[in-house]
Amino acid sequence: MSFAKAFSPAIREIRILCSQSGAASAGTRQFIQSRYPTIKQNNPDLPVLIREASGTPARVFARFERGVEKHVELDNLSATDVETKVAQLLGS
């Protein structure tokens, strides 16, 4: 899945959780810095929530229509691996 296009309308919300300083969340923070502008540009009405808290394990949640929610763990992954995991989650 490319982040350079609009996502499926079935996706209602994306929540990204990570630690603002922890080494395990470095790839997730890098993903946010590089991909968030593109995601919001192509999906301006989609809520993308970013929550940073000390000691929080890196993970991303996606809420789909009918309240279905899925998530993947992102701790200790590179930015490229985070992108792949997020694309898989949003494509499911």
Percent of the chain clearing pLDDT 70 (strictly above): 97
Average pLDDT over residues 73-92: 94
Spatial contact of 31 and 77, defined as CB atoms under 8 Å apart: no
Q: DSSP assignment of 10-48, as one string?
A: TEEEEEEEE-SS-GGGHHHHHHHHHHHHHHHHH-TTS-E
> ∠ at Cα 85 (79, 90), nearest 5°?
125
Residue in the structure block whose two tokens are 């940073």 = 52
Model pTM? 0.92
Give me the pLDDT at residue 4, please: 78
Give me the pLDDT at residue 3, please: 81
Instruction: Output the average pLDDT for the chain.
Output: 94
- Using CB atoms within 10 Å of the CB of residue 43, give its burial: 0 to 12 exposed, 13 to 18 middle, 19+ buried: middle
And the tokens for 60? Answer: 């991303």
